[in-house]
Amino acid sequence: MKKKLFYIALLFLSLPGFAQAIVCTQATVQSAINSATPGDTISIDAGSCSWSGLTIAKPVTLQGAGIGSTNITLTGNNTITKQAGGKIVIDGFSFSKSGGGNSSKGWTIDGSWSAEPVIISNSRHDISVTGLYKLEVIGGVIFSDCSFYGLWDDSFIQPKLTGDTESWTTNSTMGTDDTDGKQNIYVEGCYFYGGTNQGVDADDAARIVFRYNTLDYSSFNSHGLGTSQTGVRHWEVYNNRFYNDTAGGWTGSSGMDDISNQNWAIWIRGGTGVITGNVIDDIANSYWGYAKAEVKFDIRAQQDNSGAAYGTTSPPVAKYSSGQGNYPRERQLGQSWNEALSNSYGIDGGNGDYITDPIYIWSNSGDGTTDGVPNDIGEGSWGDQTGYFNEDRDYYLGTAKSGWTASTCPNPNVGTGTCSGTGSTAYEVTGEPAAVPANAIQGVTIN
């Protein structure tokens, strides 16, 4: 009888989609990835290990034993490359990283925009004086039901594809225009504590949806052309809960570095997007002045003359007006792209052209808002941008964006569920695997 059971176990292990539960050491995990068949689930036991230089370039699932059980210290950068053959999923871990500053990352995610998505789910992240995720992709990365804890200037998620040639010459994929949930970056159902200055920093080429998250002393930041080489493409910030307790926060440092020294909830510096359905506290504290802008908008290229109007850059880009300094600035706030047009400047072979696509802000609530609009909308942090960011041309207040409908939530690549209300508690994915999946047999899981 024992011999019969032994052969049955060997049969299970030989079937596609099965993977033996393993210890969490980097060498063991890397070996399992290298040996896995696409579509396999690699179960990783509870334990505490360090990773530096792990490479995931195969469509597999790394299934941890759950938050607080499989604990990984990221001592260097690890790489995930999106795959055409299937999703890469990392689920059920606690990750930590410290030191090195924001340029030091624990994970870099790269690969083709058209490849299948990378999903980070049901995991906790604790960082100190460091960065965490750098996304060198336009879209196709999903953070679902995760938590992030850090200090004032820590960076949790930084989408930044330097040298992009696709995102800004391709039509918008906002809302339901992302028909398969793979074209944008999604951060949904997550909790953020700290990262006050740049917790989420949408940078070059990014198309990002930030929804149903809860933030304590944390913010959504971005970069446009002028503070970065390419600038954010478009963004959707909706149904989030932004908390700011003016009594003070976790004082990991003092003065400017105090985590309660929040200077904005949302800071936008390029592209187009929507801000709606958020609950925003009044941002106010005693450092650098009491009243702070709940939402800030800046066109840095205009403010410090670091950019150029269309048609005056090298290589040249399409223009609406001639001469440096004229409206609109390249890829400034309220600008997008339309492939149905044409340009005479050789951009993407002359196909498409820039268009004015205004920003819309409506139906927000909380002490930091009035009639659905943030109380304080800061403009021109470094200089005058009068005439470049005009209401009822480049942005609209209290008016919904015509034709925009939020995409399916949860993201369909994560699973089905419900998104109703505001913040991370309003986000629920049904059918998520438990820390030890119900179909596990002696450490073996079925994909």
Q: What is the pLDDT of residues 45-73, one digit of tens each?
A: 999 999 999 999 999 999 999 999 999 99
Q: Is 103 exposed, middle or buried (0-12, 13-18, 19+ CB in 10 A)?
A: exposed
Residue 296: predicted pLDDT:
92
Sign of CA dihedral 222, 227, 228, 230: positive
Residue 8: predicted pLDDT:
35
- Pairwise pLDDT comparison (256 vs 396), residue with the higher score: 396
- Pairwise pLDDT comparison (205 vs 445), residue with the higher score: 205
The mean predicted confidence, pLDDT, of the chain is 85
Whether residue 78 contacts residue 103, with contact meaning beta carbons closer than 8 Å, is answered with no
Percent of the chain at pLDDT > 70 equals 81
In which band, very low, low, confident or very high, does the pLDDT at 314 lie, cut at 50, 70 and 90?
Answer: very low
In this predicted structure, the answer to whether residue 13 has a pLDDT above a threshold of 70 is: no
- Pairwise pLDDT comparison (289 vs 207), residue with the higher score: 207
Q: How far apart are CA 63 and CA 181, in angstroms?
A: 22
Residue 286: predicted pLDDT:
58
CA 65 remoteness from chain centre: 25
In this predicted structure, the answer to whether residue 394 has a pLDDT above a threshold of 90 is: yes
In which band, very low, low, confident or very high, does the pLDDT at 440 lie, cut at 50, 70 and 90?
Answer: very low
User: Helices in 230-323 by DSSP H: which ranges?
Assistant: 300-303
Distances from the Cα of 146 to the Cα of 50, 143, 176, 214, 288, angstroms: 20, 7, 24, 11, 32
CA neighbor of 439 nearest in space, from 43, 128, 1: 43
Q: How far apart are CA 126 and CA 156, in angstroms?
A: 9
Q: How far apart are CA 124 and CA 216, in angstroms?
A: 15
Mean pLDDT of 11-38: 78
* CB-CB neighbours of 350 under 10 Å: 13
Length of the chain as a residue count: 447
In this predicted structure, the answer to whether residue 364 has a pLDDT above a threshold of 80 is: yes
- Let me know the angle formed at the C-alpha of 297 by 291 and 298, rounded to the nearest 5 degrees: 115
- Pairwise pLDDT comparison (440 vs 392), residue with the higher score: 392
Q: Which residues contact 75 (CB under 8 A, 6 or more apart)?
A: 50, 51, 52, 97
Residue 258: predicted pLDDT:
77
| Domain spans, the chain | 138-433
Lowest mean pLDDT of 183-192, 230-239, 263-272, 344-353, name the range: 344-353
Q: How far apart are CA 170 and CA 175, in angstroms?
A: 15
Residue 300: predicted pLDDT:
76
The radius of gyration of the chain from alpha carbons, rounded to an integer in Å, stands at 23
CA neighbor of 324 nearest in space, from 312, 337, 339: 312
Residue 249: predicted pLDDT:
52
In this predicted structure, the answer to whether residue 110 has a pLDDT above a threshold of 80 is: yes
Residue 305: predicted pLDDT:
55
